A and B are shown apart, each in its own frame.
Chain A
Amino acid sequence: MSVLDLPRLWRPETHQALFRRILDVAARPGQIADLSDLLDDRAAALAALATFCDNTQMLADLTGALSDTDLAFLDVRTAPVDQAGFILARGAEAPRFAPRLGTLDAPEGGATIVVMLDSLTDGTPLTLTGPGIAAQAGLSPSGLAPAWLDARARWCADFPMGVDLVLADQTRLAVLPRTTKIKGA
């Protein structure tokens, strides 16, 4: 298949555009990236994985949402959840796993967890502070089980180790880096 025939989600120019929007909201936790003009009806969570994954990366899909075709295009290796650099999970289900947290020498080894939610704006308001946020910011995810925030607090208790979350509803993303402190919910 020539590159020109690729579905939009898998084209290099789409990945560049996706990356810029993800970077913007990773640098500014609380802000939301609207990806709808890039997705062609695919899920924002998949778009996040498509931006970063290739055959050097390991993914644990806890949702079963990825089709065989998606996995082929991601070209990613599957791995157990405690070894994967990327984890795909559902916000509605309390996390019962121990993700990679990185080490003191190599904290970048901490996993990136893409969490699929109902909405980024209809839920309980959370107050966010930390790098990237002037004073404080708000985010109101809906469909994120409270156990997620407890688990995240545990995983990120020993900076610089921790995990970085990408929250995704059908068309939008927000990022919670390990440095963001959360109050509320």
Chain B
Amino acid sequence: MHPVDTMGQTREGATYGFAFLDEDAKRELRRAIFKAVCIPGHQVPYASREMPIARGFGTGGMQLTLALLGPDDTCKVIDQGADDSVNAANIRNFFALTCPGVTGTLRTEAASVIQTRHRIPELPLRADQILVFQVPYPDPLVVVEANAAKRRRMHGRADYARLWVKLYEDMVAFDEITISHRYPTRINGHYIIDPSPIPRFDVPKLHQAECLYLFGAGREKRIYAVPPHTDAVPITFNDVAFAVENFRDKTTGQRHVCRRCGADDSFLDEFPDNDGARVFQCSDAAWCDMRLDRREAAE
């Protein structure tokens, strides 16, 4: 019987330990993260504790973040690029509740740990920052093989032939690879990962980055990683260039810009305004705010 209380209490009388999870759970996560970093792109299985937030709402990302956070960390949480999306707000509240001492921030450059759903921040991340992705489907092969045991075998052997066939069929049917988000990306020349539902626009940010990328699937119970300075190449054919969303207006040929800050190089949200007109705005709220701050400072 372990002499240490597995609740890891740091305050007398606390009913939850720091960062909610008990120490056994954190250790298991840390072992899995370590192996994931040593085997880039490989999906490491783990037990995956239930959290007070529902499966499908980021419990995998949360478990990673809770295993990482210490009282001197600064944490940012975004969903679709926005800090104030309901899902991000909910998760951020949870961290504030369970991780006393951790500072919350909306500013990308101030964060040591960023948890994200469906976007990579526009601002390039530094070596002292970790980006944690919430992952619904950890396995890119799930579109061609429903059976988990068979998929595991295919990954071990880097046998992705059936994935290539799927892309080929797309080309034949549509003259385009129709995969929009979750674009299969090859890591360090071996494992192909599902980079989570980030748009194509964000995939190039995975390649040879300064920061560490960690991916957590709570419901599916897998953790994987792309270390810094690692090749991350979206798969395609030699004669089909990997294209990102270009936000080009079909009629004018012009690239749409953000109506708030004027950015012409960020991923844009497109939506109808109250008059029915189509408007475009930076998806990354902090990026948009930063550009506006700079513009104001310059004026």
Contacts and interface: CB of A to CB of B under 8 A. Distances in A.
Instruction: Classify A-B as touching or not with yes or no (CB < 8 A).
Output: yes
B221 to A, nearest CB: 13
A118 B4 CA distance: 31
Interface of A: 1-4, 6, 10-13, 15-17, 19-20, 22-24, 26-28, 51-57, 72-73, 75, 103-108, 112, 130-134, 159-160, 164, 175, 177-179
A177 B23 CA distance: 25
Contact of B4 (A3, A23, A52, A108): A3
Given A3-B8, A56-B28, A159-B190, A23 B156 contact: no
B188 A52 contact: no
B34 A112 contact: yes
Nearest to A69: B3
A164 B38 contact: yes
B27 A15 contact: yes
B10 interface: yes
Contacts, number: 134
A23 B42 contact: no
B39 interface: yes
Contact of B10 (A12, A20, A175): A12
Nearest to A135: B229
Contacts of A22: 34
A179 B188 contact: yes
A112 B37 CA distance: 13
Contact of A26 (B9, B37, B127): B37
Contacts of A3: 4-5, 8-10
Interface residues of B, number: 51
Given A3-B8, A12-B17, A107-B42, A131 B2 contact: no
Contact of B30 (A19, A55, A105): A19
A179 B190 CA distance: 11
A23 B10 contact: no
Interface in B16-50: 17-19, 23-24, 26-28, 30-40, 42, 44-45
B195 to A, nearest CB: 16
Nearest to B67: A19
B42 A28 contact: no
Contacts of A15: 23, 26-27, 30
A103 B156 contact: yes
Given A23-B30, A73-B4, A108-B36, 4 more contacts: A12-B26, A54-B27, A106-B152, A130-B188
A12 B23 contact: yes
B236 interface: no
Contacts of B225: 27
A84 B94 CA distance: 37
Given A16-B70, A73-B3, A108 B39 contact: yes
A27 B4 contact: no
Contacts of B28: 56
A54 B2 contact: yes
B42 A6 contact: no
Contact of B37 (A75, A133, A177): A177
27 contacts: A1-B3, A11-B10, A15-B27, A16-B18, A23-B33, A23-B34, A23-B68, A26-B34, A26-B38, A51-B30, A73-B4, A105-B153, A106-B152, A108-B32, A108-B36, A108-B42, A108-B45, A112-B34, A131-B230, A131-B231, A132-B229, A134-B208, A134-B229, A160-B42, A160-B191, A178-B39, A179-B40
Contacts of A130: 188
A10 B23 contact: no
Contacts of B37: 23, 26-27, 132, 177
Contacts of B2: 54-55, 75
A179 B231 CA distance: 12
B3 A72 contact: yes
Contact of A105 (B3, B10, B152): B152
A112 B33 CA distance: 13
A104 B156 contact: yes
A64 B95 CA distance: 42
B87 to A, nearest CB: 25
Nearest to A104: B156
A104 B157 contact: yes
A107 B225 CA distance: 14
A15 B22 CA distance: 13
